[in-house]
Amino acid sequence: MLELTGLTAGYDGGTVLHELDLSVPAGSVHAVVGHNGAGKTTLVNTVAGLLRPDAGTVRVNGRDVGGRPAHQVARAGIGLVPQGRRVFAGLTVGEHLRLSYRPPRPAKGDGGRAARRERTWTPERVLELLPRLGERRGHRGSELSGGEQQMLALARALLGTPRVLLLDEPTEGLAPVVARRIRELIGTLAQEGISVLLVSPSPALAVQCADTVTVLTSGRVTARFEGGPLRSDPGALHAALELSPLPSAAVDGPPASKASTGTVGTGEDGAEADGALKASVPDAGPGAP
């Protein structure tokens, strides 16, 4: 599991993230929602080791990796799907997969068996989950749609066999049908036992995907909602974000990680809810799904 305590981080200009506490048990989804500039990407980058925390801890299964460089954090089991996907325009899908595959290191003295108990994500296994990437294997990053790029970014993170997956605005800029597929994938990965921490300006995405939602306002936790109450009263999350009132029946369906089939929002309701709620998020920008 992922556990953050007192996490404080920022830039030369000052502190952005203030003493954040948060945990993501294995097999669950925790969404952090907040408006633009709230500190969501700063949070993700600090957990991923791209930004050094000023204080606090980042624990993966009890081991503090806070302040370690990104490659060590990745080795400890934290995978990052960055905002904007960051795929290489000139490399093919197949090349991305080959370069990203990181077999677990054998532990000393275990006779060469894998160091970790999790089932390794190989390129073949990733393509089973994301068959569209197999169809596009020979295409370059620049030739992929936004949804395909998002799936490739997800594939790259999975190839490190993460225990924790960080998703920075995973449905940004995607058509509703593709955003729905991403939500389904998030549920499937949580069911595999991965701890998923996603950040997004979209309360709809959070309600549809997450077991727990934290509201981040100017780098501070200002509200937290757990599964049952979250879904029985999604308007409370809306109010915590100081958005206009929630349209009736705007949010539907069980959380992705708890759905018996591993899917969520399989009807059109989810997409409509996303659209309805996103429309009232200030400055959601062109990335709104």
Ligand X SMILES: Nc1ncnc2c1ncn2[C@@H]1O[C@H](COP(=O)(O)OP(=O)(O)OP(=O)(O)O)[C@@H](O)[C@H]1O
Q: Of 22 and 93, which has the nearer Cβ to ligand X?
A: 22
Nearest distance, CB of residue 17 and ligand X, angstroms: 8
Please, which of residues 211-230 interact with ligand X by CB under 6 A?
none
Q: Of 32 and 178, which has the nearer Cβ to ligand X?
A: 32
Query: What is d(CA 208, CA 187) in angstroms, rounded to the nearest whole number?
Result: 10
Does the protein bind ligand X through residue 142 (CB under 6 A)?
no
| CB contact set of 128 (below 8 Å; sequence gap of 6+) | none
Does the protein bind ligand X through residue 66 (CB under 6 A)?
no
- Cβ count within 10 A of residue 198: 29
> Judged by CB under 6 A, which stretch of 32-40, 122-130, 222-230, 248-256 contacts ligand X?
32-40
Does the protein bind ligand X through residue 16 (CB under 6 A)?
yes
Angle in degrees, 0-180, between the axes of helices 176-191 and 269-278, rounded to the nearest 10: 110
Amino acid symbol at 47: V
Does the protein bind ligand X through residue 42 (CB under 6 A)?
yes
Query: What is d(CA 193, CA 200) in angstroms, rounded to the nearest whole number?
Result: 22
Interface with ligand X (CB under 6 A), residue total 12
Does the protein bind ligand X through residue 69 (CB under 6 A)?
no
Does the protein bind ligand X through residue 53 (CB under 6 A)?
no
Tokens of 213: 């939602």
Among 18, 30, 40, 163, binds ligand X (CB under 6 A): 40
Does the protein bind ligand X through residue 32 (CB under 6 A)?
no
Tokens of 212: 């727990």
Whether residue 223 contacts residue 240, with contact meaning beta carbons closer than 8 Å, is answered with: yes
Does the protein bind ligand X through residue 145 (CB under 6 A)?
no
> Judged by CB under 6 A, which stretch of 9-17, 57-65, 102-110, 156-164 contacts ligand X?
9-17
Tokens of 93: 């899908």
Q: Of 34 and 270, which has the nearer Cβ to ligand X?
A: 34
Q: Of 168 and 184, which has the nearer Cβ to ligand X?
A: 168
Backbone angles phi, psi at 204, to 5 degrees: -65, -45
Q: Which helix (H) or strand (E) holds 230?
A: helix 227-232
Supply the DSSP string of 30-67, one letter for each residue.
EEEE--TTSSHHHHHHHHTTSS--SEEEEEETTEE-TT
Nearest distance, CB of residue 107 and ligand X, angstroms: 36
Among 28, 41, 171, 214, binds ligand X (CB under 6 A): 41
Residues near ligand X (CB under 6 A) are: 11, 13, 16, 34, 36-42, 201
